[in-house]
Amino acid sequence: MAYGYNNLGSLIQNAWIEKQKGGHMQFLTIQGLMIAWLTMIISLVLDLFPSLTPLRRIKRVLFMIALPVSVVVTTIYWSLILFMPHMILQANPGTTPPTSSTEAPQLMRIPLKMDLALHAAPGVSLLADFMFFERKYDQQTALYAAPVLAALSGALYGTWVEYLAKFNGSFPYPFLTENPFEIRVAIYTGAVTLALVSFWIINSAHP
């Protein structure tokens, strides 16, 4: 995860992103990466100092956000990158053909090593940590706290990107830019639902 974040500046799309208001933090991928990174750092500290009970409570709350977000990022990203890459990847401005051309613009892709670091490592790491080193959440927490955190996270991200789009003239992902507000709200709602249901499934599958 550190490798992926530290090499963002080497991407062809970095110059375009840095000109945008919000920079890399407008992407759910990067926000998910940061919270996953923080969760894993706290996990490491707890391995070294297991008596830090307050820190463990913080990790448990972060886990309820980081794990579902990583599932959403991984599921949506890899589904679109395999079947509809134009919906998730920005077109390279330097290779965009004239509007009269039928040729599809070249997309700004990420090297596979970085792709895995950004869009697979967080989910795999969090899932392994949860299954092997954490206890499952009790029923009351899963039924009441999880929906609140999922809805709050989705509302905050949706509000954030809607705000940034007013300055940037576009959204970080083409599938948001190409849809009207009502459809975007449905997308945000669908992502929150996916996050919540995935959390319930993973929690129930915990041994």
For residue range 70-84, list pLDDT tens digits in order. 999 999 999 999 999
Provide the pLDDT for residue 27. 97
User: What is the residue extent of each domain of the chain?
Assistant: 2-205
Q: By C-alpha distance, which of 164, 184, 166, 182 is closest to 174?
A: 184
Count of residues for the chain?
207
Question: How far apart (Å, rounded) are the C-alpha atoms in residues 27 and 32?
Answer: 9
Q: Which pTM value belongs to this model?
A: 0.89
Provide the pLDDT for residue 92. 74
Count CB neighbours of 200 within 10 A: 16
Provide the pLDDT for residue 158. 97
Provide the pLDDT for residue 94. 56
CA distances from 187 to 1, 26, 65, 94, 152 (A): 26, 16, 18, 30, 15
Which pair of tokens denotes residue 16?
A: 């375009």
